[in-house]
Structure 1
Amino acid sequence: MSGNTLGGGAAEPMPEGWGSNSNRPRVGRVGDWNNAGGSGSNSRSGSGARIATFRDLVSGGGGGPAGPPPPHSHDDDDDEEDERRPEEYFAGGERSGVAITNPDQGGGPGGLVRNLLEQAQRGGVYNPPEPRGPQYFSGGGHALGSDEVESRYIPDPNASEEPEEEEAVRHLHLWREGFSVEDGPLMRYDDPENQHILEQIHAGRAPPSIMNVRYNQPVQLVIAKRTNEDYQPPQRTGPAAHFSGSGNRLGAPAPDVASSSAPMPGSFPGSSSSPPATREPESMNTRFEVDQSKPTTSVQVRLADGTRIVARVNLTHTVGDLRNFINASRPGMTARAYTIGTTFPNRTLEDDKQSIEAAGLKNSVVVQRWADA
């Protein structure tokens, strides 16, 4: 059988037996039927793959022997991407369907950490919010009324029904062996509870146990990739030392003065006193004791330096005893002359021998003033 080409020239002769029917089974490679009529030994002795793909047909010109497929540089990238992407199964009919992700693939803490980093990379770089400008007053108010019209409250017309939750910013550090939130402790990846926490974060939920946020409060999560570093505890400068020591209860008897050689006037009998450090003026050696079997009262003394002291005295004590109480409480004030007096009415207590009851100082307030002021 022969024919002509499109250009009008003679075509190559067709193989022998091309148009005849043959009951022999044809054996050969896909795309190469020229060896079909040959012996079985020739077909078996041919080099190359016995089964070719459609890609080989395209690369081989459609009818020639199958050759090696051309290299494709993007195949490796596709394979890596397919390895990272979890397997998905699809099921359904003509109008509905469902996609199921293989839960056994890509699991474990390594996959969760990789997915978190990919989500953070897609989210972009975190930019802290700009400081707000000056805010003006807004809100409701009260309209003053009169004898005929009652006062009423006017709500804010621009107020929202639900207050906006302030967005919290939390920092998640991903270390080599675990993760930490802010300056918290290390939470290892191999702990099942910590894996559950990572799964919650990956699902878009903020566990209040480690995030320290309110329920339904929006959270901006900043992820720091430190997977090539071991966990480093935060360096703390040390919190300020808490107060420790003794103190005085309000309303209690005034404490003893360390520099006084005698118990402070106004203290209860039997109270301990510190050893004398220096010899005080003779006026400070005057002492008195409070007799609990007799009527007592409290006198508040407002000192000239702005501080206040309370003296517990009997009604039989005198103004001079009260002055000695001030001198014992503030030894440095004895070098400067001062006066003491009441406020309502405003009068100066000049008679040191006058009793507390006679001076009208029962449960009263006495003010100290500098004489040269």
Structure 2
Amino acid sequence: MFSFFKRKKPEAEASPPAAAEPAAPIAPVTAKEAAPRPAPQSAPLPEPVPPGEGELFPETAERPTSVAEQKKSWMARLKAGLSKTSSNLSLLFVGARIDEDLYEELEAALLMSDAGMDATEHLLSSLRRKVKEDKLLDAAAVKAALKELMVELLMPLQKPLELGRHAPLVMMISGVNGAGKTTTIGKLAKHMQRFDQSVLLAAGDTFRAAAREQLMVWGQRNNVTVISQASGDPAAVAFDAVQSGKARGVDVVMVDTAGRLPTQLHLMEELKKIKRVIGKGMDGAPHETLLVIDGNTGQNALAQVKAFDDALGLSGLIITKLDGTAKGGVLAAIARTRPVPVYFIGVGEKLDDLQPFNAEEFVEALLG
């Protein structure tokens, strides 16, 4: 597996730990994490899986065995997910002349990719200037220049999720219904366990039918405790989870919240309440306030980022479902208008389909 997180370095480190298995890079180990920890016990997969979840941990399926193969597999899936935009943009450069017609076609393709007017104008004005200054004469060179400018635009969004800063690290996770929020929480819990992080989940989505049960399934899959109430105040559930996390000495507490639209003002107010109550449970918490976004929602994703950021002060984004119909350009719009870091992007339902956002990889998949 790739390295998903960045760990906060301790002020004084002991001698380096023994090398782990060479199959995959891991993050540095802090003094706290070096302490012996009992291995988590495997939990049987519950039956049945809630509708829409699918088989998310096909443990018997063949997987790439080396880091290089994993990277190749990931890039293939990402390129397939962004193929709609990639094909539209790549075809423009085939035998193209560097003239006004090319710039107009590029403008239309970028707008169709959900990049938005601001990001599109920024990219094209920068491209015109670069073509002139560098005296670029062929389409391949212009395409390479566009890639470079796109990477430069998206690089501020690339930031690792840093573990080990707090005990526990409290994460509040929001998103509209259908964005894949609960599934993403389950995947993140599994990934964190691979980095020897103990996890506790809070079922704060008390509005959606079966949401609590869905998170309980993920808890069983990952052998993780889930704090929940059959019915009650989601803020109280979040508070109990933080207190329980502190008492148990867990590394990460993730609080699920009810899916809602930014226009549902009463529910947005409840989100603010949940955040305030979490802060009462632990000073400075939540330490991460994340928004999960469906990559297929286009410019509506940008509207969600603005609304949730205004209400909660987002620290990071997770973009899901970049797996076929997603156009991908909305990340450029986010980078220009509301540059909240993108911690992870997802291209499917399997565990390995959620990976850290890398600007260069994303642009390579987007522009080919």
Range into which the TM-score falls when normalised by the shorter chain:
under 0.3
The structure with the largest strand share of the pair is 1
TM-score using structure 1 length = 0.16
Higher relative contact order at CA 8 Å, sep ≥6: structure 1 or structure 2?
2
TM-score using structure 2 length = 0.16
